[in-house]
Chain A
Amino acid sequence: MHAFYSQYRNQILFGLMAGLLILVAVIQSPSVALTILNLCLISAIMSLGVNIQWGYAGLFNVGVMGFAALGGLAGVLVSMPPVSEAWQAGGFGILLGLLITAGTVVACLMAWSSIKHLTRYRYWIIAGIIVLGYTLLRLFFDPGVDAIEAIDPSVTGYLGGLGLPILVAWPVGALFAAGVAFVIGKIALGLRSDYLAIATLGISEIIIFFIKNEEWLTRGVKNVNGLPRPVPYEIDLQQAQWFQEWALALGLPVDDASAIFVKICYALLFIAVIGVLLWLSETALKSPWGRMMRAIRDNETAAAAMGKDVTWQHLRVFILGSAVIGLAGAMLTTLDGQFTPVGYNPLRFTFLIWVMVIIGGSGNNWGAVLGGFFIWFFWIEAEPIGLWLIETLTAGMDPQSAVRAHLLEGAAHMRLMTVGLILLLTLRYAPEGLIPEKKRL
């Protein structure tokens, strides 16, 4: 029995997962099952990204939310139509502002390296440059921002995007995340693991603050709705002759059929992406590079002594993993069809992803994917399951009872407790996760 399990573990576990989704399709509805599946796929990609950083290299990145949001931002900036009035009104100020920012950064970097001998005053000089740059920035930037945000604020009030197909946003989202990861990695990767965790958590919050507040770029808390889709719209399908016939043939109402069709289209797109990523990750893990990364993770000092450039390899892995998270972020925004900055909270976008990686099995790509599926499934289904549980357990109680009402109300929060418990139990009884890392040489 045990031998059978260990030989076919992956098949059994993924089969179980498929079974659960099919169960949902039967009990609830196929549409719900597909919604869960699509988000499972995106979660799996995020979890793959974290696994690249943690599983391959032992980097403790708790800034997942920030990278996902950057990917989402790419969705807006690539796909939304440009707002030409806004560009005319404030474009110049914004561009000048960006130039000033770039100039300040360059000045700081140059000053930093050219005044090495002035150790005592170095920080003050840099601070001076930053204050000067910031004042200049505010002087030119603010009027531009005000002008842009004044243009039809209820509909636009921002610069808009490039008006390109949204699929372009996926790689762009990855690039955004990679770019920011480069900067973060450069400054923070030298930190001890728990400091790195806190630093990345802080940076991800800063990114979200930026996105929430820089309305000229992101519309902030006003959200960006109606992002273009890579798949057909339900309404078009419902009106198309061929689709109506097709739905009729399947015996489904046209409304339901169109919703399911759209979700299947998304699922296929996502599966294609996850397939490519898994293939790449597995190839990388098996390559000499993967071997070196494991050597670095397991004994940094020894690897450094053998002449491996640990810092550079860490930076590379950090960028790669973040790019994957950014890609998933862009995909999520695409699926949602909207960009809602207030929706990004660390519980859902950072810690939950971490739970996925730990439970799936750190260091194992298939494990990360499975973890993404499992945890997302429970995150969504814990509420109905909890509700059902409490209803069954309190069935004998007076329906009017305040205790019962309170318990039913509380069922919605069962998922936090469940996820917490699953994580704690995993760490204790199966610290290697559902699909442990393969022992490679």
Chain B
Amino acid sequence: MSFLLGEHMTGGYGAADILHDCSIGVEKGEIAVIVGPNGAGKSTAMKAVFGMLPLRKGRIVFDGSDVTALKPEERVVKGMGFVPQTHNVFTSMTVEENLEMGAFIRTDSISDSISQVYDLFPILKEKRKQPAGELSGGQRQQVAVGRALMTHPKVLMLDEPTAGVSPIVMDELFDRIIEIARLDVAILMVEQNAKQALEIADKGYVLVQGRNRFTDTGEALLANPEVRKAFLGG
């Protein structure tokens, strides 16, 4: 059993299901990536794991306990961190305040965590008194990830962290994500840039129409000619 596992997830927002018996899991210290064509239900699968989508069937197991019935905010307390694709920072608040808010559920001192985030993303230290809304897209993503890290999550879920940033910034973000994984954090992310994401992935999930199509290591998927042809542009 994986550290975080969404098993046989079936459900959707309205009458029609978006996910059909979809399973996704990730281990501690690993990076798992969900890829697939547009409308494959990638983000939906991620949201389902985080409790933002009502499930008709299936369950979510995290760290040995069933969390299917918990609300997203309760999962945060349990040790799950989530970075939404958009609107993922408090634009009117400074970088530092964003990080403080990320640690809202903690009652102990947070200064260590803040300096940890600053070590990971040095630019944020420089901009710590600036409102997050005034930062560039890449910097905002760093704030968003930093905010989610403040609770010391055991699993970090990222919904398209590199959407709308330049390739250089993307590489840099991926490097940071690898660094986070090395801290024994499980990372589950949805990516549009499938090739680059699979390169850093320990495990990859290719979803099509809400169903698991291929599941393998990142390397194996990249090597799989069928996957290459259909999803990675040859």
- Direct contact between the two chains A and B in their complex (CB within 8 A): no
Q: Which residues of A contact B (CB under 8 A)?
A: none
Q: Which residues of B contact A (CB under 8 A)?
A: none
